[in-house]
Structure 1
């Protein structure tokens, strides 16, 4: 049986006795129904993992004791910052989950002219907490030991204007350049993915003015969530650690 991977929000140390967080304890004690003597693998975002023995367990509280921590670096050499315009329903959650599995380091949710999602500040705050939990769960599942940053929602204009030394790419169905034509080496990418209705002409012009290069994925028009994952995969194959 695979040893469950569990994120711990505080710094871990070797030979440490500690209580799991409420969410982790619920998952280990109530969902997995693990008992004293069984083991879990803890990580705290430091790129280290700690094998831990369960020493006390109930449905509400789980206490463990860690062994010696080990460095376990599974991060891609390619640093990807995804700027994703908000998408409807579960599509945004899907994009966040899968892009993290594919190795994205930072995600900034964006609001654009044609963004179909309208949320007030309170609901945006709740969404951000939900997205952060999705990021943690994705890392637990895929084996990453650093938690990618989910930044607060901002406007596309604000995000485009942020200073960055990364290669800036905008996926556009009428672009003439493909990812395969990008010049090696590339270690940092700032990737813009528009909404379901696409970016407006003014936004495309603004992206170009802010030094974003239009990139074409292929002859077919993809949905926004498909576009993000396809582009990330193509970038990781060419410049990262896939394939």
Structure 2
């Protein structure tokens, strides 16, 4: 763990909640003399606190210092991802966060099942835990769009991962990708994207949606 998240990091006095208390003192076995690092994932500041009091269930900390320490990917990458099973999304999110993806737009495409609902509070918790582990100093942006038309209107320059497109040029800088759900895109959706750049892998094998998302994210971070 690179730091501990608290929305109140930066305040002169912090009171640890049950989750953080349990992890810090029962798992990490931190001593009272240790200095603890906190972030609020809003201002790129790293705050250091000293323990002033501790009992069996609560702890109080006092602010010692705060330093601007921005930790983020060198390149900004936006990923559009047609919605798949939320369990798949949740398992993939920490990897995308570590790769430095700046923003994900989840899109209900024609092959996305409408009964799939993304729990934004759970997504935020997953991203916070990932940031604590990898050191990232800000939360990834998340949005949910109702259809492909809305996505293309917002991100007309986004490249589309699909079959039959141009081979990906590894020397080109890409800043935005759209990846389809399982089954790819419908005929009507492909027709609506006929004026959009379509990119394909130089690979005869069919990738799962989450594999394509990870590949695009790695490519965008190079």
2:5 maps to what in 1? Answer: 7
**Long gaps (5+) in structure 2:** none
TM-fit CA distance, 1:133: 0.6
Mapped partners of 1:207, 1:23: distance in 2: 46
Which one of the candidate residues 73, 77, 80 is aligned to 1:76? 73
Question: Is residue 83 of structure 2 the alignment partner of residue 86 of structure 1?
Answer: yes
Partner of residue 179, structure 2: 193
Structure 2 CA distance for partners of 1:73 and 1:179, relative to 1, 3 Å: farther
1:141 corresponds, among 133, 147, 150, to 133
> Any conservation in 2 of the 1:115–1:197 contact (CA below 8 Å)?
no
TM-score (norm 2): 0.85
Residue in structure 2 matching 1:178, options 143, 168, 189: 168
For the aligned residue pairs, the C-alpha RMSD in angstroms reads 2.5
Deviation of 1:10 (Å): 3.2
User: Does the Cα contact within 8 Å between 1:105 and 1:149 map onto a contact in 2?
Assistant: yes
Using structure 1 for the length normalisation, give the TM-score. Answer: 0.79
- Given that 2:145 and 2:151 are in contact with CA atoms closer than 8 Å, whether structure 1 keeps it comes out as no
SS in 2 for 1:138: helix
C-alpha distance in structure 2 between counterparts of 1:152 and 1:57, whole Å: 42
The residue correspondences of 1:113-124 to structure 2 (distance < 5 A) are 113-116=110-113, 118-119=115-116, 124=118
State the partner residue of 1:158: 150
Deviation (angstroms), 1:153 = 5.0
Q: 1:37 aligns with which of 33, 49, 58?
A: 33
2:191 aligns with one of 168, 185, 205: 205
Answer whether contact 1:83 1:192 (CA < 8 A) is retained. Answer: yes
Query: Are positions 1:218 and 2:202 aligned together?
Result: yes
Whether the 8 Å CA contact 1:88–1:117 is kept in 2: the answer is no
Structure 1 residues 157, 10: CA separation in 2 closer, same or farther (over 3 Å shift)?
A: farther
In the other structure, the counterpart of 1:130 is: 122
**Corresponding residue SS for 2:139:** coil
Equivalent residues, number: 220
Q: Is the 8 A contact 1:112 1:156 kept in 2?
A: yes
Q: Deviations over 1:29-87 (max 9, x none)?
A: 45445443333211122112122223333564332223222222221232112111222
What is the match of residue 50 of structure 2?
A: 53
Between the aligned partners of 1:31 and 1:216, the Cα distance in structure 2 is 46
2:60 matched to which residue of 1? Answer: 63
Q: How far does the alpha carbon of each residue in 1:170-218 deviate from its partner, in whole angstroms, 9 at most, with x for none?
A: 1113212314253x5x6xx222111011111222232344xx4211233
